[in-house]
Amino acid sequence: MKRRTLLIGGVLALAIAGVAVATRNMWSPIGAVAQAPVPAERSVAVEVALATAKIMPLQVDALGTVTPMASVAIKSRLDNEIMDVKFADGARVKKGDVLLTLDSRALEAQIRQAEGNIARDKAQLEGAERDFRRYSELVTKGATPVTNLDNARTQTDTFRAAIKADEAALENLRVQLSYCTITAAIGGRISAASVKIGNFVRSADTVPIAVINQLSPIYVSFAVPQRYLPDIRKAIGAESATIDAVIPGSDARAPGAVTMIENAVDATTGMATVRATMANQDEALWPGTLVNIRLTLREERAVVLPSAAVQVSQQGTYVYVVADGVAKVQNVTVNRVMGSETVIDSGLDGGETVVTNGHLLLTNGVRVTVRERKPGA
């Protein structure tokens, strides 16, 4: 029995050994490694651009408001009736143009009366002077008392004073008569008239008859952060500070120059108000309009690259620099953004190739393949 058991065990051992030999290529580690495919190294398709060192303007963008250099409210100095309006609503007027005329008949009559009073007083003065000369001769001869001479002198002085008073009254009436013709104190655009012919106006009216705004030249005021004040002051001193105003909805640019910085910074906002003077010959800038301001302070050499290349992380800003087909992370310091370009303070020297599209699959040290830029991208 024992011998039979050993025989059966030997047969089973031989069978197991035969199966193992037949299937060794399936479970052997050496065979598995030999048959497994070797994975290809990953490569990411990206678009690139060149970081260049070139001359770039130092610019500040802001939102500004157009304000007239001068504005005059037209009011009457007399309580009178409007006889004629000589301007069209919204028309351009010149300094000295006649705008309105008031009823002057009463003043003209008073002027004629004052002129008559002056003529009367002059005639009386001539009579008093004749009496004074006659009494002077009689006193020397002892034919009349000195009292008559003194009375004649007093009468003469009285008529001279009356003439001066009448002349002053006449001058006052002529000044008031000039108020009946209202002229433009400045040149510019006039508003619509609030009253027309036949209306009665008063000197105490709070609403002006019309308003004239000077449009050429004109002011543009805007606020900038206080950190730009040193650069702006240097640029004004060097007369290199220029400004372009762009009206929203229009591509036209109005040039000008910075002429004033407000004498105090707003402590609540940290902003400083700056004012520029614009020639505005074509009247492109209109009072009250909000405009986009681009203030150019100076030009300087800097490293510039497309803004799409700059990425932001918790550690700061960085770009992917491509060299020998490998993308590597390079930390950079951004100075300013100018439209589609970014000016770099440090991190790049110019001439580097940076990734502008395809950042999603990039990691530090990954191999990349440069692809052509898509049309319209």
What are the tens digits of pLDDT across the range 66-114?
Answer: 999 999 999 999 999 999 999 999 999 999 999 999 999 999 999 999 9
Tally of CB atoms within 10 A around 289: 15
CA–CA gap between residue 121 and residue 137 (Å, rounded) = 25
pLDDT of residue 39: 52
Class of domain 60-69+213-299: mainly beta
**Fold topology of 46-56+301-370:** 2.40.420
Q: What is the pTM of this model?
A: 0.67
Tally of CB atoms within 10 A around 163: 18
pLDDT of residue 29: 46
Task: Name which of 342, 245, 333 is nearest 284 in CA terms.
Answer: 245
CATH 1.10.287 matches 104-179: yes
Task: Name which of 301, 313, 305 is nearest 353 in CA terms.
Answer: 305
At 121 the three-state DSSP class reads helix
Query: Across the strands, what pairs with 52?
Result: 304
Domain boundaries, the chain: 46-56+301-370, 60-69+213-299, 72-97+190-211, 104-179
For residues 335 and 343, the answer to whether their CB atoms sit within 8 Å is yes
pLDDT of residue 228: 87
Between helix 146-178 and helix 105-141 the angle, nearest 10°, is 160
Tally of CB atoms within 10 A around 174: 12
For residues 260 and 275, the answer to whether their CB atoms sit within 8 Å is yes
Backbone phi and psi for residue 146, each to the nearest 5 degrees, phi listed first: -65, -25
For residues 95 and 78, the answer to whether their CB atoms sit within 8 Å is no
Q: Is 116 exposed, middle or buried (0-12, 13-18, 19+ CB in 10 A)?
A: exposed
* List of the chain residues with pLDDT < 50: 1-2, 21, 25-36, 38
